[in-house]
Structure 1
Amino acid sequence: MLREPSCEDEDARRVHRELQQLTHERIAHTNRIGALLVLHNPRPRIVIGGRDGAVWWDRRRDQVPPMLRAEIEREGARLKLVREQVRAVKAERCKELAEGKQPLVAHLARLRAIGPKGAWVLVKEVFGWRHFANRREPASSLGLVPTHLVSSVHVDA
């Protein structure tokens, strides 16, 4: 039987989905800046958009033609905005955990192999609105089903 999530359940899933989208955007901006820099050979040996990025760029900005420089700087501004948004979403998530608003996430995060990020995804996507009747159902919903192992393969010639 299919159980449709409620509007509240669907809304609770927005936080980690937005964080995932922002992370993809951050990677795309970083890769784009790196690709644009390779066009004129100032290959960065630092993390683009990181702590030392502005100093590195100030030293090498004159090696790049003006139009490309403007494009890289606009891309850098977008990267800075995305990084700020990632920090804001992560801070909101940490605040919810610290205030005890997400007890199941905190409980799962105490397990050895599951961190806060994985616990958040498990709670919101798997355990948030689905109800499991036995221990095999969560595994099968995640694709963790046992398979028949063949000990040897016999081929007739």
Structure 2
Amino acid sequence: MGWFRRTYGENPLHLLALLACFALAGAAVLALVPNPNALWIAVWFAAAVIGHDLVLYPLYALADRSLVLARWVRRRVSSRPVRVAAANYVRLPVLGSLVLGLVWYPTISGGGADVLAFAAGLPPTVDYVARWLLLTAVLFLASAVAYAVALGRSAVRERNSRR
């Protein structure tokens, strides 16, 4: 197996998983070929890939770098060591809020109110922006509580190790 890893660069299971992904993608393409909307689906997919890779990824990579920079500055300024890194407690609610906002954007923006009223029977007068903001606040509150618990556990662990 050493020759395979030197030649391919990874474990044989990686190649197997990659081939399975290509087979699944090929099956999806073959299922869409008879569909008259297949061209629009391909255009939407290409736009989604380009929009993510060229627009969204640099934006959230920049935001993540700011969290890392803040941690670096904190280590340089303060003499106390960082017991629990806060970056993941910020990343998770931001990611959850953005994904929910992206998935439910047509409903939140009001563009799909007629479709929602027809499909779900819900009136278009419901304030979906307020609901999304409330859900975002709950995500951040839950993350803050989890961070406080992690800080508390770290302080208790540190106090017990001094004894």
TM-score, length of structure 2 as denominator length:
0.27
Q: Which is helix-richer, 1 or 2? A: 2
TM-score, length of structure 1 as denominator length:
0.28
